[in-house]
């Protein structure tokens, strides 16, 4: 029989995990936070122990994909304090999705309070500073109820669970960790569709292009714009970034998810390093002239790109020290080892 695990709420004791060697996997923690919406009110159910969600078989999230999720990371700081990163931006993005899917907003206060409660309750699972790992926070929004017709739900579940995670791409970030990506001929989202919101259905549509890329030895699929298939859109669950001769560029498209990592990196590039930035359409052919390329997101942080393949065309890129600078500044702000001139860190009270 394996040794039972235990912890004392409120103590600084850590869970018995090899934090430095975690993958990006679901690892259930003792508590999750839940609130349920009915008749115009969110009723907080608080912290629950079961990983299961019991909902009606008629629920809209199961039939019609009326569902959203978010993803963010919480870091342990060098001083033992615990920080989330720009949680109000995740709340805003979830609520853009809620409007799009005809559901009620999750009040920002409820969203952030839920994160604080679930992180504090699971504090032994917050990876210690220096382990390279983080506590991944996954808010979920589900349309529920007894229903069969194609119409929005009247009741919703808002749940947040956490899981300690290591790097998304094996090996994490480093000069020898460039990854290669395959241009997909399939789209993950329609031109005026749901690409800009974090609806689960978008991700179901990315499984097939992702599998094709991985079956051919690539890390992920690179999507082109769904209207003309000319412009770079996104890479898997990450936004694209590239250095041209004059600027750090990133695609401007209505069907790309607004990455909180990307908007933060652009701000750091401009304000901390004085680099020019541009958000605009980027034709695939522009890769000919690009000095270096990367993708970014909460899970991947920054992953630099060493090769992009499109049929019989390919582009290769060297490691660029500017990705290292951006990476180290972002992670330093997130984990509290650097000053936060932007006011992005949100401390989680543990008491």
Ligand X SMILES: Cc1ncc(COP(=O)(O)O)c(C=O)c1O
Task: Please give the residue ranges that form the binding site for ligand X (CB under 6 A).
Answer: 71, 234, 237-239, 257, 259-262, 297-298
- Name the minimum Å distance from CB 182 to ligand X: 16
Name which of 89 and 212 has its Cβ closer to ligand X: 89
- Name the minimum Å distance from CB 89 to ligand X: 7
- Name the minimum Å distance from CB 332 to ligand X: 17
143: left (phi over 0), alpha (psi -120 to 50) or beta: beta
- Name the minimum Å distance from CB 78 to ligand X: 24
What dihedral do alpha carbons 181, 185, 186, 187 form, nearest 10°?
80
Report phi then psi at 254, rounded to 5: -75, -15
Name which of 144 and 295 has its Cβ closer to ligand X: 295
Residues with Cβ within 8 Å of 9's Cβ and at least 6 positions away in sequence, in order, are 121
Name which of 221 and 348 has its Cβ closer to ligand X: 221
Instruction: Compute CA distances 266 → 116, 216, 238, 263, whole Å.
Output: 27, 32, 15, 5
- Name the minimum Å distance from CB 254 to ligand X: 14
Name which of 15 and 91 has its Cβ closer to ligand X: 91
- Name the minimum Å distance from CB 155 to ligand X: 26
Name which of 124 and 139 has its Cβ closer to ligand X: 139
Instruction: Compute CA distances 7 → 4, 60, 123, whole Å.
Output: 10, 38, 10
- Looking at the chain, the number of H-run helices and the number of E-run strands are 6, 17
Name which of 58 and 200 has its Cβ closer to ligand X: 200
- The sign of the dihedral angle between the CA atoms of 191, 236, 345, 293 is negative
Name which of 82 and 256 has its Cβ closer to ligand X: 256
Residues with Cβ within 8 Å of 53's Cβ and at least 6 positions away in sequence, in order, are 142, 157, 159
Rounded-to-integer distance, Cα 225 and Cα 234, Å: 9
- Name the minimum Å distance from CB 234 to ligand X: 5
In eight-state DSSP terms, residue 132 is S
């Amino acid at each position: 029989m394996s040794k039972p695990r235990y912890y004392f709420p409120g103590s600084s004791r850590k869970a018995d995990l090899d934090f430095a060697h975690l993958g990006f996997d679901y690892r259930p923690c003792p508590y999750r936070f839940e609130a349920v919406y009915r008749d115009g009110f969110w009723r907080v159910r608080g912290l629950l122990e079961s990983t299961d969600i019991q909902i009606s078989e008629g629920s809209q999230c199961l039939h019609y994909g009326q569902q959203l999720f978010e993803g963010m990371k919480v870091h342990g700081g060098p001083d033992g304090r615990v920080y989330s990163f720009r949680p109000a931006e995740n709340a805003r993005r979830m609520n853009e999705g809620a409007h799009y899917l005809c559901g009620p907003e999750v009040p920002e206060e409820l969203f952030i309070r839920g994160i604080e409660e679930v992180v504090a309750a699971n504090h032994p699972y917050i990876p210690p500073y220096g382990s390279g790992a983080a506590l991944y926070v996954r808010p979920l929004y589900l349309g529920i109820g007894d229903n069969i017709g194609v119409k929005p739900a009247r009741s919703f579940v808002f749940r947040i669970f956490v899981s300690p995670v290591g790097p998304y791409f094996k090996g994490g970030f480093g000069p020898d960790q460039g990854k290669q990506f395959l241009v997909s001929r399939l789209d993950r989202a329609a031109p005026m569709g749901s690409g800009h919101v974090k609806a689960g259905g978008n991700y179901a549509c990315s499984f097939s292009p992702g599998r094709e890329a991985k079956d051919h030895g690539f890390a992920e699929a690179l999507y082109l714009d769904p209207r003309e298939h000319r412009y770079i859109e996104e890479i898997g669950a990450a936004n694209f970034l590239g250095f041209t001769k004059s600027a750090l560029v990133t695609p401007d498209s209505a069907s790309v998810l607004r990455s909180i990592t990307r908007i933060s990196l652009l701000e750091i590039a401009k304000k901390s390093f004085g680099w020019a930035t541009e958000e605009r359409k980027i034709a695939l052919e522009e890769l000919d002239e690009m000095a270096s390329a990367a993708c970014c997101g909460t899970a991947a942080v920054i992953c630099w790109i060493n090769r992009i393949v499109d049929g019989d065309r390919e582009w290769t890129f060297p490691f660029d020290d500017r990705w290292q600078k951006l990476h180290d500044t972002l992670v330093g702000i997130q984990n509290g080892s650097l000053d936060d001139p932007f006011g992005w860190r949100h401390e989680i009270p543990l008491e």
